[in-house]
Amino acid sequence: MKFTIDWLRQYVDFDFTPQQLSDQLTMAGLEVDAVDELYRDLEVIKVAEIIDTHPHPNADKLVLCDVMVGDEEKRIVCGAPNARKGLLTAVALPGTVMPGGFKIKKSKIRGEVSLGMLCSAKELGVSEESSGIMELNEFNAKSGQSLLEAMGLQDILVEVDLTPNRPDCASVIGTAREVAAMASTPLKLPVDEGSLPTLSGSIAFSVDVVNPEFCPRYVARRMTGIKVGPSPWWLQKRLLSVDLRPINNVVDATNFIMLEYGQPLHAFDFTTLADSKIIVRTAVDGEKFTTLDGQERTLDASMLMICDGKSPVAVAGVMGGANSEVTADSTELLLESACFDAISVRRTSRNLKLSTDASYRFERGVDPQLAPVAMARLVSLLEEIASGTVDDDGVDALVAPIVPLDLALRVSRTNSLLGTTFSADQITDFMTAIGMEVSLADDDTLTVTVPTFRVDIVREVDLIEEVARIFGYNEISTSLPVVPMSFAEQDSGRALRKEATALLTSLGCYQAINYSFVSPEHADQLGLPADDEGRNTVSLLNPLTEEQSVMRRSLLPGLLENVRRNINFQSSSVRLFEIGKVFEPVADNVQPNEENHLCVVLSGLRYGTAPELHFEQSAVDLFDIKGVGQSLLSGLRLSQIVFSDNSSVAPYVDGAETLALAVGDETIGCIAKVGKECLQKFSIKQDVYFLDINFDRITALQQASKKFVPLPKFPAVQRDIAILVPESCPASDLVEAIATKKEKLLEHVSLFDVYQGKNIKEGFKSVAISVTYRAQDKTLADKAVTKVHQRMIDLLLKKFDGHLREM
Amino acid sequence: MQDALLRLQQEADTDLAAISNADQLESFRVKYFGRKGPFTQLMRQLGAAPKEDRPKLGKMANELKLALQGRFDEKKVDLVGSLAAAGPQLDLSLPGRQVPQGKLHPVTQIMEEICAIFEGLGFSVAEGPDIETDFYNFEALNIPAHHPARDMHDTFYVDDSTLLRTHTSPMQARVMETAEPPLKVIAPGKVYRCDSDITHTPMFHQVEGFLVDKNVSFADLKGVLRVFIAKMFDESTAIRFRPSYFPFTEPSAEVDIACVMCGGKGCRVCKKTGWLEILGAGMIDPEVFKKVNYDPEVYSGFAFGLGVERIAMLKYGINDIRLYYENDLRFLRQF
Ligand SMILES: [Zn+2]
């Protein structure tokens, strides 16, 4: 909603500065978005008088003009057809920067010196008029005067970001009403609402409202003797100031009054209306109709149309039709000032994808009392500016008498909801300040009569909001709620997620957040087969771009894109993780499954940006990601999750370097090296390792409880074994074999070296294992340890077909 | 023999005192304690001494050896210490052996900060689905089909009845329909709007909060938000409440804080107003209560919603919202 200060002053007197006005409106719930001085860049444009013209010696279409700017005479070359002796026009002198940024210089045009430029309205950004230079004689302008002053253009534009509940303020008068309440001054209205003509319907046309449920009121009058032409400047100026293009006096008058009162109006060329009839009815399915903008539109049975005796002539409350448009030759008009149902207009506007200033207002609600008022204003304006004559009578088709709403407002309820201590008198004062009528029903209850323009106030609570608004939200005191104490529950997954993110950051990983919607191409980049389940995604009906058109099934592609981006920006050592939702479709009109996943990606150097001084750097490998996984799982105390053979290797995974993460028989994730082909598709040239796990599945698991074990009282003995086993034998099997052997003295077993190469037989590797023995009740004797240890050695030799290697 | 022992002691003491480097230390060790050293020789000669003198002499020799060994060890420690001190000097300006650490995304950091403040006030934390039904996102919040307020929500649709939630407010209805007052809940999460420009990303984060009980007032809402803003920003941050409109609250308010960039004088960030809008709030509308079968005559409550990215921008001075979801390490490392 836009208006100018000068325009506002037409209806209300106030002393506020533009800044004060802006603050007051904002604090009253009419948030001011911008306050701008209009045409500020035109301050340097002057009025010039052409005192003589001469033909240009070298160009037929150019004229040499001798102009006076104040008392200075200048020669300016001009190509406008209306450049003539005696014309007052606008001049931009050398040094002037035009609204488009172009700087005027002293120049030579076809060999003739020109000391400036005579300007058209379009060149100055005043209007669209570009057929000639500006004509200022009718403004009583003086040569040398500033153009702003001469045309009365100086004004300040205010833009309000109107909330949908205040359609009454979608007009300059509506805003003025709020300002009048703030300034405690009366509202000055252009129409005396007490002396509106009675419209009884004895007329030269008929109005039939077939669907009154969509059209509670329809006021129509006929005018004859209309002379269509340009609007007077004051009217054009108002429209231009709010970025509306003047068209002709009839259309401009309807637009102006819509902005002034908030009542959309329409003028039909009366002679085009078949049978001199107006029928307000819903359309026939499939019916075609061409709107004023020249678009042919297909109607459906829910749309309310204004029709003549034969066919539609306007989409009710949205836009008129080309067939009944007012043209330069129109002399008879049928004027419409109606009230249409908000939902009906909104639905029609949506279905036609056609939103107009009229539909904007109807959708939010227009006061049905306004229709005859705006009609009176329109008639008088057209009498004044289009020399029309109105028929004595007209139509006011009103479905039901309009009765202002009476609401009960309880003082106690108001105070308990707001936390205030207002008296009935105070509340009465607040209400009357904004045009409500108040009477006392009982000690605690006021009866408030709501003016019809406040279409948003229909309940007691709406009145309570008005009490708060008029008193001032800021003035209401502050307290803290007194609520019985109870335990503040946490969402179940949240605590574990916080634990996991803390662990991962301590492992050197940065948290990423990617969009939940991704490109459908991710499936191709991952190399998923055509029938892969992972291609089954939730798609958006109205994505912003193709790249954000489906909900993700996996976090990995987003993170791979992050890896590439970071490499491109010279951060080639990347450790990122994301915990977020993936979405699996279930069925149409059913919410999809949402599962939290955790994905970690590692690429580049192991210690990233850490100084090489202390950390021997090399590229990350599978054991880095496995280590991250192990640290995470042990930190979360989830020992039931184990690494196992990955039996279902995804196409984007290097089959030689992957392990599944499993709980019992169920795979809940994996670690892997990203396959070469997939990396190519993501344009990544270095190895990337990832961990991907269903985090909701983890959340469902029981974290191991913390249980104390008494500290040992007797010393432990450590013995090592080095054994040569076939290359194919997994080293962890050896450790496992000892660990699972139920040996009473065994405390701990760990792998400490695996070696292949020099001095080791081809096809074999050396595995070194450290075993710790301890007795709970005595210091172990060497002999006893040796005995047990030998049993372990024998076990390994036998089970794994190994040989002892000299340590 | 006794004389020989005394001479040996004198000689050894002189030699010991003269030691000034590791080589001399080693030759001293070889000379006196080696296999061919004087003590070995003396022990051999002990056999030639009179039988009754042997224990005494043996003891003397042993004591002498032990004492010398002790003095030698002292000298060694002394010498090694002074040698080390004279060695290459440690450059203490070198960086410590700092194991690389990662960081949480700034949005998460702010979100946790917000949640922690409300948890401190006793609010529970609940989460809900990102893909919502039209019912919870709109209908339950008093935004029926064809309500102009739907224009305030540029909605991504999945189909006729499912959509990406445009706010975290659906959690009001979801929690209220399964629990009875008193309720104090916050609901953090991702939300989506079909809108992308320099000031909007199509996905962002909100924290919804609501409190429902008997006799909860607008003054209480002001009090709780005042505590939040004091903790989140600064105890002295000026706040203003001004009327606004949300279909699911009545009265509705926007809450502004004094511009953190210019201190309220007016700048580009606050569009010269000196104020920054940081959250929307209000008293829960009776229609919302009716939908979950709460009696609005018995219960009242307030709700508020805040944008996490916006607060992160204000607190950290981030001026380009696109950075949030590019996951550029140069960005992530800064917080
Ligand atoms: Zn500022």
pLDDT in tens, A321-368: 999 999 999 999 999 999 999 999 999 999 999 999 999 999 999 999
**Over pLDDT 70: what percentage of chain A?**
100
Distance B274 CA to ligand 1 centre (A): 5
Q: Is the domain defined by A406-475 classed in CATH 3.40.50.300? A: no
**Mutation to test the B interface, candidates A458, A505, A513, most B Cβ within 10 Å:** A513
Domains of chain A, residue spans: 2-38+156-189, 40-151, 194-398, 406-475, 492-699, 717-804
In three-state form (DSSP H/G/I as H, E/B as E, the rest C), the secondary structure along A256-292 is: HHHHHHCCCEEEEEHHHCHHHEEEEEECCCCCEEEEC
Task: Give the chain B residue nearest A348 (alpha carbons).
Answer: B146
Q: Which residues of chain B have pLDDT under 70?
A: 81-87
Tokens of A733: 């099997």
A296 three-state secondary structure: strand
Question: What's the pLDDT tens digit per position in A729-779?
Answer: 999 999 999 999 888 999 999 998 999 888 888 888 999 999 999 999 999
Is A515's CB within 8 Å of B158's CB? no
Taking only residues 15 to 34 of chain A, the set having a beta carbon closer than 8 angstroms to any beta carbon of chain B reads: 26-29, 31, 33-34
Residue B3: per-residue pLDDT: 80
Q: Which fold has domain A194-398?
A: Phenylalanyl-tRNA Synthetase; Chain B, domain 3 (3.50.40)
CB-based contacts of A353, cutoff 8 Å, min separation 6: none
- Same fold for the pair A2-38+156-189 and A194-398: no
How would you class A42 by CB atoms within 10 Å of its CB: exposed for 0-12, middle for 13-18, buried for 19 or more? buried
Choose the closest CB to B194 out of A481, A542, A588: A542
Q: Which fold has domain A2-38+156-189?
A: Phenylalanyl-tRNA Synthetase; Chain B, domain 1 (3.30.56)
Average pLDDT per consecutive 10 residues, chain A (807 residues; last block may be shorter) = 96 95 94 91 90 90 92 91 92 87 88 91 85 89 90 93 93 95 92 88 91 95 95 93 93 97 96 94 94 94 94 95 94 96 94 94 93 96 95 92 94 97 96 93 95 94 96 95 90 90 97 97 95 94 95 97 96 96 92 96 91 87 96 94 91 95 93 96 97 94 91 92 90 91 91 87 90 92 92 91 75
Q: Show the CA angle centred on residue B248, arms to residues B226 and A408, nearest 5°.
A: 95
Domain boundaries B106-332, corresponding CATH code: 3.30.930.10
**Mutation to test the A interface, candidates B133, B185, B190, B250, most A Cβ within 10 Å:** B250
In three-state form (DSSP H/G/I as H, E/B as E, the rest C), the secondary structure along chain B is: CHHHHHHHHHHHHHHHHHCCCHHHHHHHHHHHHCCCCHHHHHHHHHCCCCCCCHHHHHHHHHHHHHHHHHHHHHHHHHHHHHHHHCCCCCCCCCCCCCCCCCCCCHHHHHHHHHHHHHHHCCCEECCCCCEEEHHHHCHHHCCCCCCHHHHHCCCCECCCCEEECCCCCHHHHHHHCCCCCCEEEEEEEEEECCCCECCECCEEEEEEEEEEECCCCHHHHHHHHHHHHHHHCCCCCCEEEEEEEECCEEEEEEEEEECCCCCCCCCCCCCCCCEEEEEEEEEECHHHHHHCCCCCCCCEEEEEEEEHHHHHHHHHCCCCHHHHHCCCHHHHCCC
Q: Which residues of A touch B131 (CB under 8 A)?
A: 538, 551, 583, 591-592, 594
Residue B85: per-residue pLDDT: 62
Q: Which residues of A touch B151 (CB under 8 A)?
A: 164
For residue A464, give the H/E element and its range: helix A460-471
A711 shares contact with chain B (CB less than 8 Å)? no
Distance B307 CA to ligand 1 centre (A): 18
In three-state form (DSSP H/G/I as H, E/B as E, the rest C), the secondary structure along A75-101 is: EEEECCCCCCCCCEEEEECCCCECCCC
Q: Is the domain defined by A717-804 classed in CATH 3.40.50.720? A: no
Distance B269 CA to ligand 1 centre (A): 5
Domains of chain B, residue spans: 2-85, 106-332
**CA–CA min distance A548, chain B (Å):** 9
**CA–CA min distance B113, chain A (Å):** 13
Is B159's CB within 8 Å of A166's CB? no
The Cα–Cα gap between A56 and A111 comes to 9
Residue A445: per-residue pLDDT: 97
Mean residue pLDDT across chain A: 93
Say if CB A687 and CB A620 are below 8 A apart: yes
Distance B278 CA to ligand 1 centre (A): 13
| Cα A325 off chain centre by | 36
Is B324's CB within 8 Å of A513's CB? yes
Is B216's CB within 8 Å of A544's CB? no
Is A488's CB within 8 Å of B122's CB? yes
Question: What's the pLDDT tens digit per position in A484-529?
Answer: 999 998 887 899 999 999 999 999 999 999 999 999 999 999 999 9
Residue A806: per-residue pLDDT: 61
Q: Which residues of A touch B250 (CB under 8 A)?
A: 459, 461-462, 464-465
Which residues lie across from A261 on neighbouring strands? none
Question: What's the pLDDT tens digit per position in A566-605?
Answer: 999 999 999 999 999 999 999 888 999 999 999 999 999 9
Q: Show the CA angle centred on residue A152, arms to residues A151 and A158, nearest 5°.
A: 130
Say if CB B259 and CB B243 are below 8 A apart: no
> Domain A40-151 belongs to what architecture?
Beta Barrel (2.40)
**Mutation to test the B interface, candidates A1, A22, A168, A465, most B Cβ within 10 Å:** A465
Strands A107-109 and A112-114: antiparallel
Residue A762: per-residue pLDDT: 86
**Mutation to test the B interface, candidates A214, A355, A361, A480, most B Cβ within 10 Å:** A480
**CA–CA min distance B81, chain A (Å):** 26
CATH superfamily of A492-699: Bira Bifunctional Protein; Domain 2 (3.30.930.10)
Residue matched to tokens 């080293």: A731
